[in-house]
Amino acid sequence: MLFLFFVLSAHTGLAQQQYLMLTAGGGIVGTALVYKIGYDGVVLKGRGIGNITFDERAKLKRCVTRKYFRKTRSLLSQTSGFDHPGNVYSSISLFEDQTERRITWGDVAYPAPANAQKLSRKINSKLATLTFEQAPSRE
C-alpha cells in the first residue's frame, strides 16, 4: 500500500512538471511576454527580462490544453534544433520528463517553419480570449 502511494505521488509530481511556454519579446527594451501553460490547464502570464515573474493566472479547458500539448510535441519532433532568434523573437517550449525542447524564430534570414507560426498564432488567439486574474502571491 505504501509503495502504491509513492508511485502515485511520483506520477503526480511528474505531471505537474509538464508545461508549455510561449514567449514573444525582444526589440529595443528586450522585454518578453511569456505564457506558461500547465498540463492541468492553468495558464500563467508574465512579463520581464531574464527571470519572469508570473503575476496573472487563467484556466484553459483540459481538452484544449491536451490538444496543444499533442500539437507542440508533434511540431518539436519535426523541427527540433530550429534556433534562430532575431531582434524580435518568438518561441515555443515544451518541458516534460525533466527536459526542455524549444524552437525559436525571428531572424529574417531564417524564416520560421510555417507550422510553428500557425500553432503559435492558434494558441495565442485562444489565450487572448481568457480573462486573467492576479495570481496569488508566493510569500
User: Rounded CA gap, 94 and 118, in Å?
Assistant: 17
Tell if the pTM clears 0.75, that is, is over it. yes
Query: So what's the pLDDT on residue 16?
Result: 52
Which residue segments constitute the domains of the chain, with CATH numbers given? 16-132 (3.30.1560.10)
pLDDT digits (tens, 9 = 90+) for 59-106: 999 999 999 999 999 999 998 789 999 999 999 999 998 899 999 999
Rounded to an integer, the average pLDDT of 121-131 is 96
Between the CA of residue 105 and those of 21, 32, 81, 111, what are the distances in Å? Answer: 14, 14, 11, 7
φ, ψ at 26 (rounded to 5°): 105, -150
